Amino acid sequence: MSAATAALRPETTQAPSPARLSHLKRLEAEAIHIFRETVAETENPVMLYSIGKDSSVLLHLALKAFAPGKLPFPLLHVDTTWKFKEMIAFRDARAKELGLDLLVHTNQDGLARGIGPVSHGSEVHTDVMKTQALRQALDQHKFDAAFGGARRDEEASRAKERIVSLRTAQHRWDPKRQRAEPWHLYNLRKKRGESLRVFPLSNWTELDIWLYIEQENIPIVPLYFAAPRPVVERDGQLLMVDDDRLPLNPGEAPQQRVVRFRTLGCYPLTGAVESEAASLPEIIAETLAARTSERQGRVIDKDGAGAMERKKQEGYF
């Protein structure tokens, strides 16, 4: 065969078909399949609800998966008590509007010890108020499967995460005991005490999330849209002064700047970006032209090399 011969057995171009699925439709169908499969094969599933845009999409897909029936599992929000006020207001409004079974868990021991991101730093705070709190809640309610909104495109160690991911009785993730996950056959078996984390959005990218929010008109926390907000600049991060718990350094004063958030978490750990994008079209345009990844605003990813991988092994979602 000559090297110039491009195709050995070229086939005719495919004919368009109404049954052919768009990228977003296929992602949606895959997520719905994962929800149904998990609910059918586990005893006591729960959906981790972090109030962010990915959680909004996750909830929307879950509702679709079981329509016209009701959501067959509760939602769990691990509240560190340091979330933006607007996040909590949004959470409560959505739960009421949709009639959701919403559980809110806070690590009371951590709270009593006064653990917080300002006093203890991001590592200790995340460990006690998020990782440990999550483990407490899962143990308390004996949940054997927890849906989460993590995506493989978020961070390098997530790229290797399975859709159905096994956790030990201590909620640890063992990268060496990852199961093969061929076709669309999910192994939802586990030993007593072990549990599963299930990620229906594994194959979504940040842009897919935004396009889907736009297409489906999914409500999201207003913090994602640009608006004048009181911020201080620290170590290259723009932090919003959401309440009086953020101590100001000498000479530091909150300034009103037009900012928005690409991800949402605990407010002292979540950097804002300067942006004029106040609508979904503008956000999508900005996302497409973006020169930094969305997790750049996350302080916890910078707790040293392999930070996320280590946190996951310890049981961070």
Q: How far is the CB of 10 from other proteins (least distance, A)?
A: 6
Can you tell me which of 44, 81, 168, 293 binds other proteins, judged by CB under 8 A?
A: 293
DSSP symbol at 21: P
Looking at the Cβ atoms of 142 and 184, the one nearer to other proteins is 184
Of the candidate residues 121, 193, 228, 281, the single one contacting other proteins (CB under 8 A): 281
**Which range binds other proteins by CB under 8 A, 93-101, 119-127, 141-149, 154-162?**
154-162
Strands 164-167 and 195-198: antiparallel
The reply on whether position 250 binds other proteins by CB under 8 A is: no
Distance, CA of 185 to CA of 125 (rounded, Å)? 37
Q: What's the rounded Cα separation, in Å, for the pair 8 and 254?
A: 66
CB of 203 to other proteins, least distance (A): 6
Which CB atom, from 79 or from 206, has the smaller least distance to other proteins? 206
Q: Please, which residue, 129 or 299, has the CB nearer to other proteins?
A: 299
Query: Which residues inside 110-139 make contact with other proteins, applying CB under 8 A?
Result: none
Of 246 and 280, nearer to other proteins (C-beta) is 280
Residue ranges in 8-67 that form contacts with other proteins under rule CB under 8 A? 8-11, 13-14, 17-30, 32-33, 36-37, 39-40, 63-67
Which three-class secondary structure state does DSSP give residue 98? helix
d(CA 56, CA 212): 11
What's the chain's length in residues? 317
Q: Are 224 and 93 in contact (CB under 8 A)?
A: no
Q: Rounded to the nearest 10 degrees, what angle do helices 23-41 and 206-216 cross at? A: 90
State which residue, 8 or 253, has the beta carbon closest to other proteins: 8
Q: Least distance in Å: CB of 113 to other proteins?
A: 31
Q: Which residues contact 189 (CB under 8 A, 6 or more apart)?
A: 41
- C-alpha to C-alpha distance for 39 and 145, rounded to whole angstroms: 9
Number of residues that bind other proteins (CB under 8 A): 86
